[in-house]
A and B are shown apart, each in its own frame.
Chain A
C-alpha cells in the first residue's frame, strides 16, 4: 500500500531518537557517577588510584546486591520493604553461626530464602499487596534478628573478612563484584530467553499465563532469587563490618528502590535494567562520600543525599518524557 510505504522511512528515522534517549536514560546515573568522581578527584587528586577507588566503593558491595534483590521484586510490579531488615538478619546469622557452625548457618540461609519465596507465594495466591506483606515481614525479620543478637556483636569468619579486604589485580574487589553482578544480571534478565518471560510476567502476567507459563512459579522463583541476593548482601556486609547488627541496614530498602528507579526501572513492573541498577547503587553509595569530601557537616548529609537523589531522578523523568 502506498501509505505503508510512505510511513516506513519516517519510522526508521524516528527509531534512532528513542534509542539515543534510552541510552541516555541508562547513561544518566553513570554520568552522575562520573561527575561525582570528578568532583572528588579535583578536591583530592590522590583518590584517583587503586586504593582510592577501593576506599570510595568499599561499602557499595552489599548495596549493589540489595539493590539487585529489590530489582527482582520491582520487576514483577511489586515492592519489597523488608529488604533492609532481611539483610540485617543475615548479618546476625552470619556473625553468630557461620564461624562455628557453618552447617547450621547454611540451613538458616536456606530456610530464610524459602520463607522469602513463601511470602511470594502468599502474595500471589491471596492477591495481597506486596507493600503490606513485605512491611509486615520487615518487622518479623527485625524481631528474629534482635532475638538472635540483642546487641551488635558476633564475629565474621576470618575467610569472609579477608575475602572482603582482598585486593585483586587491575581493579578493587568492589568494582569487580559490581561489574560481575551487572554482567550476570544483564545476561539473565535482559538477554536470556527466560529473562524475557520474567519481564513479561511483570508487564502482563495474564498474557504470560495464557501462553502456558506458571506465573505463580515465576513469582516464587523471583522472590527466592531476591532472597538469595539479599543473603549475598548480608554476607558481604558482615565481611566488611566483621560483626552482626540487626539495625545495620534499614536504609538499604529505600536506597535499593532508589537505585532501581535511577537505573531505568519502573514501578509498573516488567521494566528493569540490571546494569542501570548496579550503576545506580554505586552512585547512591558514592553520594555519601562526596558530601564528606565537600565537608558538608554530618547533620546535613542525609538531607543533602536526598537532594542528590532527587536531582538525578528528576533528570531521568525529564529524559523519559522526552523519549515519548
Chain B
C-alpha cells in the first residue's frame, strides 16, 4: 500500500548540470484524445530563478505545470531535471525531487487541520510527536510569509475562510523537512488573497529565490509578474510564443504578446443616474454602514480589502431583494465556482438554463427546443470555447466555466445581477469581453452589483462602496474612483 514513493533517487536533482538548469523540458506535448493541450513546449528553469507564466485561459499553463508536478503524464517530449533525463514521472517522484505545486483549485484536505495537511506532503513527519513537529514545520513558514496571519494550526481547514486556506496552502508548499526544496510552482496563488497578503507573498517569492528556490508564477495579475519575475514566458494555444526578461517589460507589451489588446477605459463618466429613484435601496446595519442605492442600468462596485464584509452585504442584498413583494428578478453569479456555481455533472446547456426554467416551461414541461436555443444563443454571445453545448461543464477551462455562469445570469429574466468576485483566475482577454458585455447590458437597463478584489475592475463602475471592517464605509462616484483613493479608503485613511 502506502510504500515509499519510488526508491529514493538521491542523485536526482541533487546536482545541476553544466548549463546550470534545474528543469529543462523540450518539445513536451500533451493531448487528450483529439484536443492538444500542449503542442510542443520548450521550457527551462534555473535554480533560484523566478519565472512568470502568462496566457489566456486554456493556453496550457496549468497543463504544463501539471506535467512538471507529475500529476499529468506527458504524451511526448523530453524532461530533464538537474541534467538527468526523466522517463516516467509521478507526483511522488516530483515530491521526492523537491518540486512543489500550489494548484489553482486548492488542494488541502478540508477535513484535516493545517498541521495535519502539512503531514500529508511530508513523509518524514511520522512516529511519536509528529503532530508537534508538523506544527513546528508549518508555523514558522506561515509566520515568515504572512506575519500576523492569526491562523490556528489546529483548526480544521474547512473552518477557515478561503483567504486563510490559500495562505496555508502557500506556506505548506514552502515548508521543508528531509527533502531539499528546489522549486515551487504557484498557479494563481493570489486569487483569494487580499492586497496585503499578496504583497507579502510576492516579497517572499523574492526571498525564496535568494535562497536558491526557483519559482514559477502563473497569474493573470500582470503587475505581480512585473513585480517579481526575472523572466516571463507567454503561452498561447498550448505553445510558448514569447519569452522576455522582465526588466523593461510593460503591461501593455505583455497583453499584446498574449494576443488581446488592452482597451482604454471608456467609462461613461458621471452618468446622470441619481435622477431616477433607485430600484434597490439597502440600508446598512448602523449609521456607520452606508445605505446602498442601485439605480436602473447602474454598475455598482464593492471594493475594499478581501473579507471585509463585501460578500456578506452582497448576499444580504440579494436575499432582501428576493423577499420584497414586487421585487425585480435578481441573479447571483458566484465567484467560488466549484462549491456555489457549477453543477459539476451537468452539461453546459443544463448549467446555463437552470436559472430560466420558468421561462422555458411549456404546459408544465421544459421545452427542450427552447432550452437548447437559449443555451446556444448565450454560449455564442459569450464565446464559450467548447465543442458543443452538450459538453460536460467540468471539461471546460476555469474561465470558460465562469462564462457559462455569466451566461446563466444574463440569459435569465434578472434585472439586477449580483456579481461575487466572479473574475477570479480569469484571463485578461475573457475579462475584457465580459466587461464589455456587462456595460452593454447596463445600457439596456440591467443593474449590476459587483464585488471585486481587483482594483482595475472598479473602473467599470459608476459608483463604488469601499468596505472596511464589515461596513460600507466610503462611497466614491465617477471620477473619484481611482486606485489611490480606494486604497486609502480600504485602509481607513492616512493613519495606517
Contacts and interface: CB of A to CB of B under 8 A. Distances in A.
Interface string B105-127: 00111111000110111010111
Tell which of B109, B112, B148 has the most Cβ of chain A within 10 Å. Answer: B109
A7 B2 CA distance: 40
B309 to A, nearest CB: 12
A217 B1 contact: yes
B469 A210 contact: no
Nearest to A323: B159
B18 interface: no
A199 B117 CA distance: 11
Contact of A207 (B2, B96, B109, B127): B109
Interface in A238-290: 268-271
B456 interface: no
B120 A197 contact: yes
A292 interface: no
A195 B494 CA distance: 51
B310 to A, nearest CB: 14
Interface string A200-214: 101110111111111
Nearest to A4: B148
Contact of B127 (A193, A202, A221): A193
B91 to A, nearest CB: 5
Interface stretch (B20-28, B149-157, B344-352, B380-388): B149-157
The 3 A-B pairs with the shortest beta carbon distances in the complex, nearest first, are A212-B92, A203-B111, A270-B111
Q: Is the interface of B mostly helix, strand, loop or mixed?
A: loop
B196 interface: yes
Residue of A1, A5, A12, A202 most packed against chain B (CB within 10 A): A1
B155 A15 contact: yes
A220 B1 contact: yes
27 contacts: A1-B148, A2-B496, A3-B305, A4-B148, A5-B148, A15-B152, A193-B125, A194-B126, A196-B119, A197-B2, A199-B109, A199-B116, A202-B111, A203-B109, A207-B109, A209-B91, A210-B71, A211-B91, A211-B107, A211-B121, A212-B5, A212-B70, A212-B90, A213-B120, A221-B1, A268-B111, A270-B111
B214 interface: no
Interface size of A as a range? 35 or more
B159 A204 contact: no
Nearest to B103: A210
B13 interface: no
Nearest to A207: B107
Interface of A: 1-8, 11-12, 15, 18, 191, 193-194, 196-197, 199-200, 202-204, 206-214, 217-218, 220-221, 268-271
B101 interface: yes
Interface of B: 1-3, 5, 69-71, 90-96, 101, 103, 107-112, 116-117, 119-121, 123, 125-127, 130-131, 148-150, 152, 155, 159, 196, 305, 469, 496
B91 A200 contact: no
Contacts of B155: 15
A68 B121 CA distance: 27
B196 A1 contact: yes
Nearest to A15: B152
Contacts of A204: 107-111
Contacts of A209: 71, 91
Contact of A212 (B1, B95, B109, B119): B95
Contact of A193 (B93, B95, B103, B126): B126
Contacts of A3: 305, 469
Contacts of A1: 148, 196
Given A2-B496, A4-B149, A214-B92, 12 more contacts: A12-B152, A193-B127, A199-B109, A200-B117, A203-B112, A204-B107, A208-B120, A210-B101, A212-B94, A214-B1, A214-B3, A221-B2
A12 B150 CA distance: 9
Contact of A218 (B1, B69, B125): B1
B459 to A, nearest CB: 26
Contacts of A212: 5, 70, 90-96, 121, 123
Contacts of B125: 193
B392 to A, nearest CB: 14
A7 to B, nearest CB: 5
Nearest to B148: A4
B109 A218 contact: no
A228 to B, nearest CB: 13
Contacts of B90: 212
Nearest to A222: B1
Given A196-B116, A197-B119, A203-B110, A210 B152 contact: no
Contacts of B159: 18
A22 to B, nearest CB: 10
A194 B71 CA distance: 22
A271 B111 CA distance: 7
A7 B305 CA distance: 14
Contacts of A218: 1-2
A196 B116 CA distance: 6
A214 B108 contact: no
